[in-house]
């Protein structure tokens, strides 16, 4: 699936309060996703001496 198709399908299922005038809601969603990735990177630094093995990469990819 290309990005344009993804955007189209995502708009069909996305539920945003006050769509078009509420920029805080999707911004918080983005920050939440970034936080999940940051947490996984932190654990790689702490537990694996900063070395990203395949398991670490797959974990981040799934976020």
Alpha carbons 32 and 39: distance in angstroms, whole number: 11
In the chain the beta strands, taken as DSSP E runs, fall at: none
- For the entire predicted model, the pTM comes to 0.68
Mean pLDDT by 10 residues, the chain (63 residues): 91 84 91 96 97 94 78
With H, G, I as helix, E, B as strand and everything else as coil, classify residue 7. helix
Rg, the chain, Cα only: 16
Q: How many domains does the chain have?
A: 1
Does residue 9 lie in a domain region? no
Does residue 28 lie in a domain region? yes
Residue 41 neighbours by CB under 8 Å, 6+ apart: 60
Does residue 4 lie in a domain region? no
Q: Which domain holds residue 50?
A: 18-62
């Amino acid at each position: 699936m290309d990005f344009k198709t993804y955007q189209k399908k995502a708009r069909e299922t996305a539920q945003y309060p006050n769509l078009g005038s509420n920029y805080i809601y999707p911004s918080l969603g983005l920050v939440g996703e970034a936080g999940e990735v940051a947490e996984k990177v932190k654990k790689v630094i702490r537990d694996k001496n900063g070395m990203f093995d395949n398991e670490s990469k797959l974990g981040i990819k799934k976020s």
